[in-house]
Amino acid sequence: MNGEVKRLKRELQCEGAITKYYKDLVQLPDGKTAVWDFVGHNGAAAAIAVLDDGRLLMVRQYRNALDRFTLEIPAGGLNPGEPTIDAAARELEEETGYICGKIEKLITIRTTVAFCNEKIDIYLATDLKKTQQHLDEDEYVDVKPYELSVLEEMIYSGKIEDSKTIAAIFAYKNKYVNQ
């Protein structure tokens, strides 16, 4: 493809609690224009938390967009100016009631590149110590450890569909388990 795509205009259509919805007017490489949707997101961080026995901590919570409960790794949005490593550790403790003695960057994902800029940095959290959950007022989260093989089966059977969770599980397995 020769030429460039150039954004000519971006107009805010609606602002929600965690996203902003825009209509973009873009000029295509052939000179024609098109209107594209854009959803702006402030970013998030997540942690794949591994207990000393090798099981992974998962959180079960209701997700309004799907109108059902999901099984995921702990994650959440960034506070203004907050480094993603701090957000991942904070979300781990808030949602699971565990703090980590060691945390390191695993991968970065972009969840829906066709229309959204959401970026999630995913960290590996180990040397876990139990404390207590610190849930937000509107959060109801169940925590349970799972064997890696069980989680893989849940991915392939369609019981886990969350992209950050799937990416984290396979990145962890490929980098740390299949060595």
Helix (H) or strand (E) holding 89: helix 84-96
Q: Is the whole-model pTM more than 0.85?
A: yes
**Contact of 136 with 94, CB cutoff 8 Å:** yes
User: What was the pLDDT predicted at 103?
Assistant: 98
Chain Cα centroid distance, residue 28: 31
pLDDT tens-digit readout, 51-76: 999 999 999 999 999 999 999 999 99
Identity of residue 45: A
Helix, strand, coil abundance in the chain, percent, nearest 5: 20, 45, 35
pLDDT tens-digit readout, 133-152: 887 788 788 999 999 999 99
Catalytic residue, chosen from 93, 95, 137, 139, is 137
> Residue 1's pLDDT band (boundaries 50, 70, 90)?
low
User: What was the pLDDT predicted at 37?
Assistant: 97
**91 in catalytic set:** no
Cα separation, 166 vs 153, whole angstroms: 11
* C-alpha distances in Å from residue 176, one per residue of 31, 46, 106: 48, 18, 10
User: What was the pLDDT predicted at 100?
Assistant: 97
pLDDT tens-digit readout, 85-95: 999 999 999 99
Q: Note the CATH number of domain 42-177.
A: 3.90.79.10
Cα separation, 116 vs 105, whole angstroms: 23
91: number of Cβ within 10 Å: 23
